[in-house]
Amino acid sequence: MLARVKSVATVGLESQEVLVEVDVASKGFPAFEIVGLPDKAVGESRARVKKAIENSGYKFPDKRITVNLAPAGVRKVGSNYDLPIAVGILLASEVIGVEKKEIEGYYYGELGLSGAVKHSRGVLLVGMLAKDNGIKEIFVPVESSSEAAVIEGVSVYAVRTLGQLGDHLSVQVGLANNKLMKPLSTIPITDVTREVEPVVDMREVIGQELAKRAAEISAAGGHNLILVGPPGAGKTMIAKAFPSILPPLLPEEALEVTKIYSVSGMMPAGQALVRRRPFRSPHHTTSRAGLIGGGSNPMPGEISLAHLGVLFLDELPEFPRSTLEVLRQPMEDGVVQITRVAGKAEYPASFLLLASANPCPCGFLNHPYKECRCGERAIEKYRKRISGPILDRIDLHVWVDPVEVNKLTSQDNSKQDKVESRESSKMIRERVEKARKMQEARFAEHNGIYSNSQMGNRLVKKYCKLSSDVREFLTTANTKYNLSARAYYKVIKVARTIADLAGVDEIGLEHVAEAVQYREDVW
């Protein structure tokens, strides 16, 4: 007897329908074979499916079973085919009574030996493909079902065990109504987003007004930022406080980010969407593949996990130069393509690069009180670890002066009053959100563009009109700083963000002048 069950295959962030054909033959020696270009995890499903069926109270057919995963030319990866294979065997062997041997809907999930359906990755993509293909029902693990429940127009059934699903599919006479499963209610995207709860508040950062101003501009426009200064100046503390001033994810942004985390298997069980902008901080020993992604089955790396969020590289020169160089193309294009023998995948990588660095190996070059003990050759070698093209792609360059000790140790009431009077992250975030709303309206007709930093040259010319005075000032600045064409446009985009923070439509001379100061050579 032949049965057909539909499932889904994912390659990168792309998904396609897979037809699971199961034939249970009455002749021949007992066997269990899976064909259709399966990987090792799919091949191992034979043992999991057999025990899951038996431990769910069903009799496993002692016959020749052949499972074909079509189309055969697409490599099938992962354990998510366990559920459709098990359902196909139960249908083909007539263990459960269903009128048709080709049932509607998508079936997706890993089985445990007990018959429990386990948390699986990529469920959001299953729901999105179902909507695109006009499929009305999907059956997915209960712990992953919230991901798909945000997709409107698709009935999501949260499956806890194989036995529960078998009861639901069966149409045997006398079936109790309480055995029928009910679909989940659709979860509005706006109900699962929330404000960031800051671990470090900007109010805790003493002094460093220029660095905090640059952080505000960076957050408002999505601009790359590097903080250079001696050890203990507060660079890392500002970076830790940075997530607290980021605007919340827009609904369409939340879906984009959740797709990446769902495919990576990093979505916590029961969570519907990624609720806050990503903040990734890989160690400087991270490999190139860890940063950009890879593996035999191409998986996203840190730069894709930071999509629409922040990639913080602390002690930037400590990263191998060859590792940093892989950032060049993603920083420019906002996507990364990974090609391996097993296949090719493309992941989005539109991230905000936040970096910190010491000015020299000992860290005390240009320090007002401490002497630098590094030789010129050591300093030159240290700085060469970061290439010119990487620095050129960073919009804001800020020097962070050391904080005076008396400001840290003062405990009198007047000083405490000053602490309370400093701007909190909430106050800064309110300005950032207003600027982002202006950008949201500006780029409403441009899909995939959410911030000023994502503008191409064509959009810069359209939305960044400059007066003759401003153009003349930029010409002078270009002569002084010898700006590249990329840096020239970055200055204009930063000026656009500064104008947005001021709540004005026209870019003025003061906005461009502030933007230019962030191109000062601090490295």
Residue 236 lies in a domain: yes
- Asked if 468 and 236 touch (Cβ cutoff 8 Å), the reply is no
pLDDT at 45: 94
Same domain, 358 and 463: no
pLDDT at 94: 86
Question: What's the CA gap between 236 and 215, in Å, rounded?
Answer: 12
Residue 235 lies in a domain: yes
- Of 135, 154, 187, the residue that ends a domain is 187
Same domain, 318 and 208: yes
Same domain, 108 and 88: yes
pLDDT at 419: 52
Rg of the chain on CA atoms, in Å:
28
- Asked if 305 and 280 touch (Cβ cutoff 8 Å), the reply is yes
- Number of domains the chain is built from: 3
Residue 384 lies in a domain: yes
Question: DSSP characters for 412-427?
Answer: SHHHHHHHHHSPPHHH
Same domain, 459 and 439: no
pLDDT at 217: 98
pTM of the model: 0.89
- Give whole-number Cα distances, 20 to 11, 167, 243, 490, in Å: 18, 20, 44, 51
> Residue type for 512, please?
V
Same domain, 226 and 79: no
Signed CA dihedral, 327, 328, 329, 335: sign only:
positive
- Asked if 239 and 228 touch (Cβ cutoff 8 Å), the reply is no
- Asked if 371 and 199 touch (Cβ cutoff 8 Å), the reply is no
Residue 195 lies in a domain: no
Same domain, 404 and 261: yes
Question: What's the CA gap between 141 and 120, in Å, rounded?
Answer: 7
Same domain, 263 and 359: yes
Q: Closest Cα to residue 121, out of 356, 251, 297, 243?
A: 297
CATH code, domain with 68? 3.30.230.10
Question: What's the CA gap between 366 and 164, in Å, rounded?
Answer: 69
Same domain, 30 and 103: yes
Question: What's the CA gap between 516 and 512, in Å, rounded?
Answer: 6
Q: Is 17 helix (H, G, I), strand (E, B) or coil?
A: strand
Q: What residues in the chain have per-residue pLDDT under 70?
A: 97-101, 171-178, 190-198, 341-342, 405-421
CATH code, domain with 514? 1.10.8
Same domain, 207 and 346: yes
pLDDT at 298: 84
- Of 392, 410, 443, the residue that ends a domain is 443
Q: Which domain holds residue 47?
A: 2-187
Same domain, 319 and 230: yes
Question: What's the CA gap between 119 and 318, in Å, rounded?
Answer: 38
Q: Residue with structure tokens 């985009």?
A: 493
- Of 443, 471, 501, the residue that ends a domain is 443
Same domain, 463 and 431: no
CATH code, domain with 211? 3.40.50.300
Question: What's the CA gap between 436 and 213, in Å, rounded?
Answer: 16
Question: What's the CA gap between 110 and 397, in Å, rounded?
Answer: 48
Q: Closest Cα to residue 391, out of 479, 518, 264?
A: 518
In degrees and rounded to multiples of 5, residue 118 shows phi and psi of -95, 160
Residue 292 lies in a domain: yes
Same domain, 99 and 237: no
